Amino acid sequence: SMVIYYLTTYVFNIDAVSYIIAMVVVVSQLFFSLFVYSINKKIRQDKLSLQQINDLKIYTQQLESSQRSLRKFKHDYQNMLLSLKLSAKKSHDKELIDKLAEYSSKTLEDKVLWQFNDVDNVKDELLKSLFISKLNRIFQNNIQYSFECRIVIENLSNKYNSFDIVRILGIVYDNAIEESLEFGDEAKIDTMIYQENGELEIEIRNRYRDTDLTIQDMKKSGFTTKKNHDGLGLANIEELSQSYNDIFINYQIKDGWFTFLMVMSI
C-alpha cells in the first residue's frame, strides 16, 4: 500500500481516484489468490481422503472374504470335533478326549476369528470401512469390545452426506478409544446397531472414569482433557449434525458408562 501510494503520488503524479482503483485491484488479486489457494488445498485433501477410502474398501473386501472362510472352517471343525469326541467316548480313550479339548480351546476360542463379527451386515461401504478401521484399532490396543448388528443395514438415505455421518462416528470412536486407554484393564467399548420403523439407531458406549465434568462442559468448543489435542470432540459433532433436522443425537453419563446415541431415518 505504501509503495503504491508513493508511486502514484510522487513518481507518476496520479490522483487519489487512480490510487484507490489501484488499491482495489491489488486487494482483489490478493483475495482471489487466497481463494484459489483454499480451493486447491481442499481438492488435494479430498483426493487424499478418497484414496484412503478406496484403499480401505479394498481391505474391507479382502477381510470379509477371509472372515467367511474362517467361519466356514470353524463350523466344519466343530462338526468334526463333535464326531471325534463321541468316538473317543465310546472307546473310553480319556487321553484323546483331553487332547481334543485342549486343541479346541486354543483354536476355536481365538478371538481373531470373530474380530469383525456382524460387520458384514452393514452394506454401506463407508460405514463398513469406518467400523472395520475402528474395531481393528480397538483390537490392536487390547481393549474389550462388542459389536452387534443383527439386521442387514443397506445404504444410508440420500438426504445425508455419508462423510458427515462417518466423521461423527469417527469422533465418537476416537474419544472412546482414548478414554479406554486411560481407563485400564476394565475398559470396554460396545457398539449396537438397530433398525426399526424406518429409523437407524447407532449406540456406542464406553467405560468412563468418574469426573465432575458434565455433557455441557464437553460440548464447549475447544474442550479437551488431553495435552496437544485439538478439542474438537462433542462440539464438532454438534456442528456436523446441525445441517440435518431429522438426526437425533444424545449423550449420557451413567453408572460408569459414557453413551452416545444417534437416530436417523433410513
Q: What is the largest CA-CA distance in the chain?
A: 114
User: Domains (ranges, CATH) in the chain?
Assistant: 115-266 (3.30.565.10)
Comparing 231 with 138, the larger pLDDT belongs to 138
Identity of the highest mean pLDDT range in 38-42, 52-56, 96-100, 141-145: 141-145
User: What is the spatial distance between Cα 250 and Cα 254, in angstroms, rounded to a whole number?
Assistant: 13
User: What is the spatial distance between Cα 146 and Cα 189, in angstroms, rounded to a whole number?
Assistant: 7
Contact present, 143 and 188 (Cβ < 8 Å): yes
Which of 252, 251, 240, 246 lies closest to 264, judged by CA? 246
Q: Is the pLDDT of residue 216 over 70?
A: yes
- Residue 225 DSSP class: S
pLDDT digits over 109-139, tens only? 555 555 667 888 888 888 888 888 888 889 8
The torsion region of residue 109 among left (phi > 0), alpha (psi -120 to 50) and beta comes to alpha
Identity of the highest mean pLDDT range in 60-69, 107-116, 194-203: 194-203
pTM of full prediction above 0.75:
no
Q: Is the pLDDT of residue 29 over 70?
A: yes
Identity of the highest mean pLDDT range in 4-13, 75-84, 155-164, 249-258: 249-258
User: What is the spatial distance between Cα 120 and Cα 209, in angstroms, rounded to a whole number?
Assistant: 32
Which amino acid is present at 102? Answer: E
Residue 123: the pLDDT is 87
How much is the mean pLDDT over the chain?
78
